[in-house]
Amino acid sequence: MNNDNASSLSPLIHLVDDDAAVREGLSLLIATVGLRVQAWAEPQAFLAGFDRASIGAIVLDVRMPGTSGLTVLEQLLAQGVDQPVILLTGHGTVDMCRRAFKAGAAEFLEKPVDDEVLIEALQNAVRQHVRSRERHQADQQARERYAQLSAREREVLGLIVEGLTNKEIGRALALSPRTVETHRANLFAKLGAESLAQLIRRYAALVDAP
């Protein structure tokens, strides 16, 4: 039960390769470090069916019948998929490598790939993805909280971010220092900020934005 829960929370690697033996070998290898693997034989099936919300990374073979790995990479990027993509190729040319990085690949590895190289690349990719998701979530939360502020509270927040004291804010907005004090307390509560520094770090960007 506990184990199951842990595995469902562990990062998910999507592996796309047309060769069954390669899929099996790589899946087993990736599984040995505790990552979950979902293997796909066809690029189109993968594009149609994979879980975009999952945390993890995508491993693409470049040379596949039908759609090349590079094309899949470009399609993923166009669709706004945020999972890092690792490309695998049998005979990588400098040109192909350049194209891959230009298209946004996180890593470009040559087959046959050594276990340590692959696993390190995967772990890096997963860490990168987790961080980007966290940042994304924090941004999302800040935006939602900021939306709850009243117009007056936003004015006060703007002046706080500019570095004005309560007295100066009261003068600027023609309010009594006590009223400013109240707005300030409400604002900290609504935004869930614990310190002035945290408030400024999280919300300065939102105040500047229209």
Partner 1 sequence: MTLHKAWRRRFAGLFLWALAAGAGAFWLAHARLQRLQADFETDARIVHRLLSQRVVQHDAVLATLALLQPPSAPAGADATLPRLPSVYPQILSVLQRPAGGGWPAALQGPLAAAEAASRQSGHPEMALVDLPAGRYHLVLASTPASHALQIDLRATVPQDEWPMDMAASPVRVALERGSEDDGAFVVQPGRGDGAGGWGWSYAFRKPLAAPSQPLDVVALRRVGLAELPWLAMLGWCALTAALWAGGLAWWRQRVARQRAEELLRLGQVARLNTLGELAAGMAHELNQPLTALLSSTQAAQRLLGDEPPDTATARTAMARAVEQARRASTVVGRLRRLVERPDLAGQAQPLPLAAAVQDVLHLLEPELARRGIAPEVSAAPDLPPVQAEPVALQQIIHNLLMNALQALEQVPPAERRLALTLARPDAAHVALSVRDHGPGVPPEAREHLFEPFYTTRTGGLGLGLTLCESLAQAMGASLALAPATGRGAEFVLTLPAATAP
Residues at the contact surface with partner 1, assessed by CB under 8 A: 19, 21-22, 24-26, 28-29, 31-33, 63, 88, 90-91, 111-115, 118
Question: Least distance to partner 1 from the beta carbon of 16, Å?
Answer: 14
* CB contact at 8 A, 18 and 39: no
Question: Least distance to partner 1 from the beta carbon of 86, Å?
Answer: 14
Sheet order of strands, 12-16 included: 36-40, 12-16, 56-61, 85-89, 107-110
Of 115 and 162, the one with the shorter C-beta distance to partner 1 is: 115
Of 66 and 112, the one with the shorter C-beta distance to partner 1 is: 112
Question: Least distance to partner 1 from the beta carbon of 103, Å?
Answer: 21
Question: Least distance to partner 1 from the beta carbon of 130, Å?
Answer: 23
Question: Least distance to partner 1 from the beta carbon of 8, Å?
Answer: 21
- Per-residue tokens: 10: 């562990």
Q: Cα separation of 156 and 12, whole Å? A: 44
Q: Cα separation of 68 and 53, whole Å? A: 24
The residue type found at 185 is A
Q: Cα separation of 207 and 160, whole Å? A: 10
Q: Distances in Å between the alpha carbon of 110 and those of 19, 121, 143, 169, 198?
A: 16, 12, 42, 61, 44
Of 27 and 83, the one with the shorter C-beta distance to partner 1 is: 27
Of 81 and 119, the one with the shorter C-beta distance to partner 1 is: 119
Question: Least distance to partner 1 from the beta carbon of 113, Å?
Answer: 7
> Does residue 40 sit in helix, strand or coil?
strand
Of 115 and 120, the one with the shorter C-beta distance to partner 1 is: 115
* CB contact at 8 A, 41 and 20: yes
Of 104 and 112, the one with the shorter C-beta distance to partner 1 is: 112
